[in-house]
Structure 1
Amino acid sequence: MAQTADATATDPIAERIREVERARLRALVAGDVAAGADLHAPDFQLVTPVGAVLSKGEYLTAIATGHIDYVVWEPGSIDVRVYGNAAVIRYQATLEVLFAGHAVPRATYWHTDSYENIDGHWRAVWSQATEIRQNP
């Protein structure tokens, strides 16, 4: 299995994965679950900042119904490690979200996502977000 650790910004596979991640975020912010469905693997799972685990269906249903409403999701530089047909990405992003109608204040989060190349398309498989808390 070919391995590319710490892929550079000009690596075409790494750049494609970055493009897919940005498209995924745009779809989620827009509430476009049709586009989002194609960017998530069938067995996708999200681990939320509070430790809840959501399947692809649960996550996209929460987006479609407005239970989760991303107001802002602004990613910074996306680091990519490619391992054959799998990849891991990590980045910081600013998020502002409405959760069950309640505003979650704008904050910065670490995001770690794994991707797999499934039938020639890079899709998110696992995703985890962790809030970066400022020390008092």
Structure 2
Amino acid sequence: MTTHTVADHIRKTEHARLSALVQGNIEAASALHAPDFQLITPIGDTLSKAQYLGAIAAGQIKYLNWEPDSIDVRVAGTAAIIRYRSNLSVVFGGYKVPPAQYWHTDFYELRDHIWQVVWSQATEIRPVSSRGEVLTA
């Protein structure tokens, strides 16, 4: 498989992962997350695979939509890193977080012939004034 073909496959895998998370399809999402998966949330918390998918299954995290822009992919053998911006709406702990844009960086590894996300980090993009001040809603 060429690097270009692998990159396209990883993009499709990430779209499938996001779709599973938005739909709350834990079985499909679980297959795409490595057993040692770790998420760094926009507020700096760390969640294991069990904590993250458990929170989604319990309804503590409910994605309303997750729309990625184009996904950049870098492949090196059996590892790949992706980066993209997205528009994201989520309900967290019963509180609807205002829709926002985020940067996402995800590290994938090929394990047993399946690309799985191992590390994931999301950073909120906050609007800034011309004076460099963070604008709040």
Q: Indicate the TM-score class for this superposition, using the shorter chain for normalisation.
A: over 0.9
Following superposition, the deviation at residue 73 of structure 1 comes to: 0.2
Q: Distance in 2 between the 1:123 and 1:21 partners?
A: 9
Decide which of 100, 117, 120 is 1:107's aligned counterpart: 100
RMSD: 1.0
Q: Provide the TM-score with structure 1 as the length reference.
A: 0.92
Identity among equivalent positions (%) equals 59
In the alignment, the residues of structure 2 paired with residue 109 and residue 37 of structure 1 have an alpha-carbon distance, to the nearest angstrom, of 23
> Does residue 15 in structure 1 map to residue 3 in structure 2?
no
Q: In structure 2, give the amino acid aligned to 1:43.
A: D
| Structure 1 spans left out of the alignment, 5+ residues | none
- Following TM superposition, the consecutive aligned residue runs of length 4 or more in structure 1 with deviations greater than 6 angstroms are none
Greater RCO (Cα-Cα under 8 Å, separation 6 or more): 1
Question: 2:18 corresponds to which residue?
Answer: 25
Unaligned runs of 5+ in 2: 130-137
Match of 1:96 in 2: 89
Number of residues of Structure 1 aligned to a counterpart in Structure 2: 128
Q: Of the candidates 30, 44, 54, which is equivalent to residue 51 of structure 1?
A: 44
CA distance in 2, matches of 1:112, 1:106: 19
> 1: distance between equivalents of 2:90 and 2:111?
30
AA paired with 1:16? H
**Structure 2 residue corresponding to 1:35, chosen from 9, 28, 45:** 28
SS of the equivalent of 2:28 reads helix
**Aligned counterpart for 1:125 among listed residues 102, 118, 123:** 118
Residue 27 of structure 2 aligns to a residue whose secondary structure is helix
Q: What's the offset of the Cα at 1:120?
A: 0.4
Shift of 1:132: 0.5
1:109 partner letter: Y
Residue 69 (structure 2) aligned to one of 73, 76, 79: 76
**Taking structure 2 as the reference length, what is the TM-score of the superposition?**
0.92
